[in-house]
Amino acid sequence: MIEATGLTRVFHSTQRRPGPAGMLRTLVSPKRIARTAVQDVSFSVARGELVALLGPNGAGKSTTIKMLTGVLRPTAGQARVAGVVPYHDRESNARNIGAVFGQRSQLWWDLPVRDSFEILRDIYAVPRPEHRQRLAEFDRLLELSEFWDTRVRHLSLGQRVRCDLAAALLHDPEVLFLDEPTIGMDVVAKEQVREFLRHQVEHRGRAVLLTTHDMTEVGRLAERVILINHGRVVADGPLADLNRRFGGTWRILVTLATAAGSAVPPPGLEVRTHGSHRLELTPARGGTARIPAALRYVVENFDVADLSIEKDDLEDVMRAAYLNPREEARVPARS
């Protein structure tokens, strides 16, 4: 449903020179600077697949989304969304896609929600029976009817995002783009939105491309992750593979009943002492020590009062991926 091949986008700007004389030189002989926001990005998203497009701020995620929605024309490369080149035929593309941007709304600010949905029905020429049927389904999943007649400006953030999701899907698009859809929402509203998205993917077969910085959202929704950094795709595959590639770090925190003695740790294990009654065990850099061997070392050599094991969570994995360019360079992008 979504195919990106070698997408590249270069932005040009004029460098301003300081001072009055510099301003004059800028007008007469402007110096143009090229900045590559996205470079040679290739991936695909199938029907009934929810893919998370992740990366640090400025990595090129939003620029990629804008090219796929037809807002921007790529400098090089090609994109197809539901068989349409989005920046060549924007009208057809608009009928094939829905989009939700967390800090923007496609609803009319001073109108009640019901009226906004009626306007969108007219814009997309949705037959009234289908319109009523879809609204009933969205109401069942998102509980919209309690604020049907509320002006959009008076909605809470969670209520507005739920309405934006329904508005994006009223014309029954095959592809849904989500750019930080749950930013600032409370945990109850977030889970309601996640359940709605699962339903759209599993039961409606929509292709969904999601960008977010909420790793809990990624862990609960996406089975596949595309990682983009400095405008390039550096990893594309199942979330479990990303965990194995960039995760794996753990530590064991030990509270001792008696003061720590001296014992030689096994190879590949690093032991730090925090006072006489606390130990921290981690794998040494480049080491191969595993948790069972570390536990055996602790039990055999110390009088343990308490023990806990901490592993990397998804945020730790993402941070390691963003900050490890040598590892990224070895990861082939999946097209």
Q: Name the pTM for this structure.
A: 0.77
Order across the sheet with 269-273: list the strands.
269-273, 278-283, 250-256, 304-311
| Confidence band of 329 (pLDDT split at 50, 70, 90) | very low
pLDDT: is 17 or 43 the higher one? Answer: 43
Q: How many alpha carbons lie under 13 Å from residue 173 in its C-beta half-sphere?
A: 29
User: Rounded to an integer, what distance in angstroms lies between the CA atom of residue 287 and that of residue 281?
Assistant: 12
Is residue 124 within 8 Å of residue 171, measured between CB atoms? yes
Instruction: Tell me what pLDDT residue 41 has.
Output: 94
| Confidence band of 248 (pLDDT split at 50, 70, 90) | low
Tell me the β-bridge partners of 267.
Answer: none
Is residue 206 within 8 Å of residue 174, measured between CB atoms? yes
Mean pLDDT, residues 34-38 taken together: 89
Q: Is beta strand 76-81 parallel, antiparallel or unpaired with respect to 2-15? A: antiparallel
Burial class of residue 302 in the structure, from the number of CB atoms within 10 Å of its CB (0-12 exposed, 13-18 middle, 19+ buried):
buried
| Confidence band of 259 (pLDDT split at 50, 70, 90) | confident
Give the residue carrying structure tokens 């400098």: 75
pLDDT digits (tens, 9 = 90+) for 53-71: 998 888 889 899 999 999 9
pLDDT: is 311 or 178 the higher one? Answer: 178
Task: For residue 111, give every residue at least 6 positions away whose Cβ sits within 8 Å of its Cβ, in sequence order, or none.
Answer: 119, 151, 152
pLDDT digits (tens, 9 = 90+) for 111-133: 999 999 999 999 999 999 999 99
Instruction: Tell me what pLDDT residue 317 has.
Output: 78
Query: Taking 90 as the threshold, does the pLDDT of residue 310 lie above it?
Result: no
Average pLDDT, the chain: 85
Mean pLDDT, residues 206-229 taken together: 88
- Per cent of the chain over pLDDT 70 is 94
pLDDT digits (tens, 9 = 90+) for 12-34: 877 777 878 777 777 777 777 88
